[in-house]
Amino acid sequence: MMQASPCRHPPRLATWLVDLFASAEQAESILGDLAEEFSDIASTSGVLSARRWYWRESAKTIPPLFGASFRSAPWSLGSIVLAGFPLQWLGATLPERVIMAILRAQRPYSNLRYELYLWLINYDIPIACLVKSVLIGCLVAVLGEGREVVATLMFTVVWTAPFVTLVVLAYAHNADREPPFASVFHFFVFR
């Protein structure tokens, strides 16, 4: 029996993405159809053409799967996404308050640990806020069992939409000046 060459399999990342967005019932049939077509194209046109085709088809397949997952239970998914908002608002300043309370208890302005305190203020607060957001995203995903990715992506989009809108409006209002956050970008890139 001849073994298939190692590169004659569909792209694993594309397969994983389709599997991530498809329901358990759909994933097996969709991935089976894609793999069968990939095999046919690979034997006639070559592996590179088949891989390109597989990526295109995967990219076309994911949005309808996302929409179908939302349409299957819009009210429960919407309520799960909305449940994450009070958690974000209640915990918005929690990391900063905890870190600042720790620093105040340790006499932050003593010369012995000044650099440590500056590091905590500059880096730990953003890291703690990121960890808090990730934990809330995980909670939203757990509540959206069976539709974890859809719930988390919807929560992320709905949560960041106002911020993105404000940035675009600020840039449109000050089009003749430097774009917003350009100084932050220059700091990290050209430092």
What pLDDT sits at residue 165?
Answer: 79
What pLDDT sits at residue 113?
Answer: 67
User: 55, exposed or middle or buried, with CB in 10 Å at 0-12, 13-18, 19+?
Assistant: middle
Angle subtended at Cα 85 by Cα 83 and Cα 87, rounded to the nearest 5 degrees = 85
What pLDDT sits at residue 55?
Answer: 92
What pLDDT sits at residue 75?
Answer: 81
What pLDDT sits at residue 156?
Answer: 79
What pLDDT sits at residue 57?
Answer: 92
- Chain CA centroid to CA 161, Å: 14
What pLDDT sits at residue 4?
Answer: 47
> Cα separation of 46 and 126, whole Å?
48
pTM: predicted TM-score of the whole model, two decimal places = 0.57
What pLDDT sits at residue 112?
Answer: 62
What pLDDT sits at residue 60?
Answer: 92
Tell me which residues of the chain have a pLDDT lower than 70: 1-7, 106-113, 171, 173-191
Residue written as token pair 């539709």: 147
